[in-house]
Amino acid sequence: MNRADIAVVGGGIVGAVVTHELAAAYPGADIVVLERGLAGLGASSRSAGVHFPRGATERVRAMTAYSHRYWRELAAELDLPLRAIDAVVVAPADRRDAVRTIYIRLGRETTAADPARGRPAPIGMTAWTLPGCHYADVGAVAQRILTTLRGRVAVWEGSEVVTLQRGEDTCLVLRHGAELRARRVVLCPGPWIAHPAWAKLLAPLDLRVKKIVAAHLEAVPDEDHPLTVFHDEDAFLLPVHHRGHLLFSYTCDVWDVSPDTVAPGLGPADLDDARTVLARYAPELAERCRSGRAFCDAYSPQREPVVAELGPGLVFAGAAGGSGYRLAPAIAADTLARLDSASAIPSLQRLPRR
């Protein structure tokens, strides 16, 4: 029987950041990450990886501000593949007040929204500069974080948890037959919320899985191409420099999909939707939407991330609803706070939070 003080299930960006924080907070603890595939290759590998300092609710704005500082510091510490980017937000002029509330540190008003280089904001719309944005190759960031932890933390890839048995410790049975007994377990399964090992435990949280799509444009971005956020459409146009194309992310309202069966690319209806939305702002770019990526993410009824204690020493962390990259640090901080409050489990030696 294998034993650990703490097991983290899921090696995506949430699991990686949670593990990083656990390793820092509990230097003496045996920590094992269990990942059914390879780390970073779930939803995280499909992510656009945009961080913009905004939040629809006070809690998400606080999480954003925390995560913003965290990513800046960790990127410097681990040399993570993050790229700072100039950004503008485009919204109807009469929504000024709402926009100012939602975006933290919104910059000056400008007439030049820039989806197609120097394009003015459409009639009736205003643009604002939005300092403090970056984007990242999220799968690579998750892998880098876990790679730096190797030696300190065990990372078992190809290790799907098939059964979770609750007792004084939690016993995790893996598909390849091994078992791991852990005093504390953090579930970070991304969109795999319906896995039979924990579906019943998560049912009270009323989580659902929504498809997320992003079109790829046949257009090579200039070095200084900005990120443009179309506020009312919940859409953005991003230059993905390390892949050599523009990406247009827009809202897709298809619910209750499965991460095991969702098609990885866009269907004809997805492409039509992408072109229709983009044509409102940059008609000449709309026709360049030729392909794209599709996957999914878990969402909560409140449209806020969930960190929930499912039982003594067993915590779920995720359901970030399409914002799991940018909010992962704050999700991790909440997770550690939950584990600390799990009083039924003897406390591990915990260092003060940095």
Binding site for ligand FAD (CB under 6 A): 9-15, 34-37, 41-44, 46-50, 138, 160-161, 188-192, 195, 197, 212, 214, 293, 295, 297, 318, 320, 322-326
Please say which residue, 90 or 142, places its beta carbon nearer to ligand FAD: 142
The CB-of-89 to ligand FAD minimum distance in angstroms stands at: 15
Please give the distance of CA 58 from its chain centroid, rounded to a whole number. 19
The CB-of-303 to ligand FAD minimum distance in angstroms stands at: 13
**Gap between the Cα atoms of 4 and 178, Å rounded:** 13
Please say which residue, 121 or 146, places its beta carbon nearer to ligand FAD: 146
The CB-of-93 to ligand FAD minimum distance in angstroms stands at: 26
The CB-of-166 to ligand FAD minimum distance in angstroms stands at: 16
CA quadruple 103, 101, 108, 228: dihedral sign: positive
Please say which residue, 50 or 106, places its beta carbon nearer to ligand FAD: 50
The CB-of-343 to ligand FAD minimum distance in angstroms stands at: 27
Please say which residue, 109 or 272, places its beta carbon nearer to ligand FAD: 272
The CB-of-230 to ligand FAD minimum distance in angstroms stands at: 14
**Gap between the Cα atoms of 245 and 268, Å rounded:** 20
The four Cα atoms 234, 235, 239, 243 give a dihedral, to 10 degrees, of: 100
**Gap between the Cα atoms of 185 and 15, Å rounded:** 11
Q: Which residues pair with 187 in a beta bridge?
A: 9, 316
Strand locations in 157-282, DSSP E?
161-166, 170-174, 179-187, 208-217, 227-230, 235-240, 245-250
The CB-of-111 to ligand FAD minimum distance in angstroms stands at: 26
What number of CA atoms fall less than 13 Å from residue 170's CA on the CB side? 26
Please say which residue, 262 or 342, places its beta carbon nearer to ligand FAD: 262
Please say which residue, 14 or 125, places its beta carbon nearer to ligand FAD: 14
In the chain, where does DSSP find H-type helix? 13-25, 43-46, 58-78, 96-102, 138-149, 199-202, 268-279, 283-286, 324-340
Please say which residue, 37 or 92, places its beta carbon nearer to ligand FAD: 37
Contact 213, 293 (CB under 8 A): yes
